[in-house]
Amino acid sequence: MIKPLADKIRPKDIKDVVGQSHLLEDGKILNRILRSGHVTNMIFYGPPGVGKTTVANIIAKITNKKFYKINATNASLDDIKEIIKDLDSLMTLNGVVLYLDEIQNFNKKQQQSLLEFMENGKIILIASTTENPYRYIYKAILSRSTIIEFKMLNKDDIIKGLRRAIDIAKADLSDINIKYDELALDYVATVSNGDLRKAINAIELAIYSTKVDENKSIYIDVDTVKECTQKKILNYDKFGDNYYDILSAFQKSIRGSDPDASIHYLARLVKAGDLVSICRRLLVIACEDIGMAYPNAITIVKSCVDSAMQLGFPEARIPLSQATLVLATAPKSNSAYKAIDLALEDLESKDVGDIPIYLKDSHYSGADKLGRGIEYKYPHNYKNNYIKQQYLPDNIKNSVYYIPGENKMEEKVKTYLKYIKNY
């Protein structure tokens, strides 16, 4: 069977791994582990195609232990039991290194089956996942493991890997002269979105699908690789960690009054076609981050959101852009958000007491016999539609929840409240 180029290029030495300098350079954690030869339970976390499996294979080779590799996507509890059966055989006297790819696909029971053997050292687990381990991996596994995050490869890393892949292809096709345009590598690196495996697959397709000319040469240009690469796919999984990362960056950019960054993250969400999540997030931002500084923001955003839902993509992107820019350029206040959270906190932590009797409902026959509403003062009967009276329960009568922010709108609120209360 002919091995894919992505497998042929897989480094066998740590010096050939591209990227991940924060882990592999001298003095960094994985470099220290490789030098010491002492391997402990580890979980590799990061996007696809960035070297997790490659580094796990290299680390496994430095141990004097039997190496097993399974993929949780198609493995079962029986596969784990087969490995456990081998633990006391002659081949596994020094223990086992188990590389478990995509561990997030194992359920709790499957993950738990490893715990006893991780605890006594018979199994050293090196697991990898593209999902946030703190969301998807059983806590007892996490507590026994070191979490190591692999980062997305940059364009230079991808180009370096592509050159190495082409050199290997040249060795395989020794009778054919492979030439390429640097711009072609740049294009592939750009659309691969940090995934070296995807980039190598594109180059491999370009090499083997390009017609050999009369000089026994093939030339890879930008047009060639464009035909061999899919439309750029963003790293976005509605049920994955990246889903929350993009939405978080979107809201924080709006909160930070950066319209350009806000539109960038909106574009990512639009590209993924996630209309509902965009609309929900815009609505909450209008109240959480703009709030009382510009109370009409929610009205504008609701109109834009309704328009977007009615239009659908691709036209929906336009009202969504308007709503995003309105919020990103609006004055900011989180006073409404803070006020309700403070009130909810009191409900959880304090004996707030009963509602004052004169505030209780009195719209029924006999309410006056129960003392309901008798001492209530109707504000509209007084000057400026205000009369001082206690509204909070006795136990928390001095509590303050709403603190106006430092913005033009809430300065007016402060002035108004001061005026009517001190009149």
For residues 60-65, average pLDDT: 79
- 161 by Cβ neighbours in 10 Å (0-12 / 13-18 / 19+) ranks as buried
pLDDT above 70 (res 26): yes
How high is the pLDDT of residue 241?
A: 54
Q: State the DSSP string of 254-287.
A: HHTT-HHHHHHHHHHHHHTT-HHHHHHHHHHHII
Q: What does the alpha-carbon distance between residue 312 and residue 63 come to, in Å, rounded to a whole number? A: 55
Q: Where are the beta strands (DSSP E) in 311-356?
A: none
pLDDT in tens, 152-169: 888 899 999 899 888 888
For 127, list phi and psi in degrees, rounded to 5.
-110, 155
pLDDT above 80 (res 350): yes
User: What is the model's pTM?
Assistant: 0.64
Which pairing describes strands 146-149 and 177-180: parallel, antiparallel, or unpaired?
A: unpaired
For 291, list phi and psi in degrees, rounded to 5.
50, -125
How high is the pLDDT of residue 60?
A: 81
CA 119-122-125 angle, 5° bins: 75
How high is the pLDDT of residue 239?
A: 46
Which pairing describes strands 177-180 and 217-220: parallel, antiparallel, or unpaired?
A: parallel
Tell me which CATH code domain 155-228 carries.
1.10.8.60
Query: Is CATH 1.10.3710.10 the classification given to domain 347-422?
Result: yes
For residues 229-241, average pLDDT: 56
pLDDT above 80 (res 237): no
Written as one letter, the residue type at 156 is D
Omega into 11 within 30° of 0, i.e. cis?
no
Residue written as token pair 């030439």:
179
pLDDT above 60 (res 238): no
Query: Is CATH 3.60.10.10 the classification given to domain 20-149?
Result: no
Judged by average pLDDT, the poorest of 212-216, 245-249, 281-285 is 212-216
pLDDT in tens, 33-52: 888 878 889 999 988 888 88
For residues 325-341, average pLDDT: 95
Fold assignment, 241-329: Zinc Finger, Delta Prime; domain 3 (1.20.272)
pLDDT in tens, 239-260: 455 777 889 999 999 999 999 9
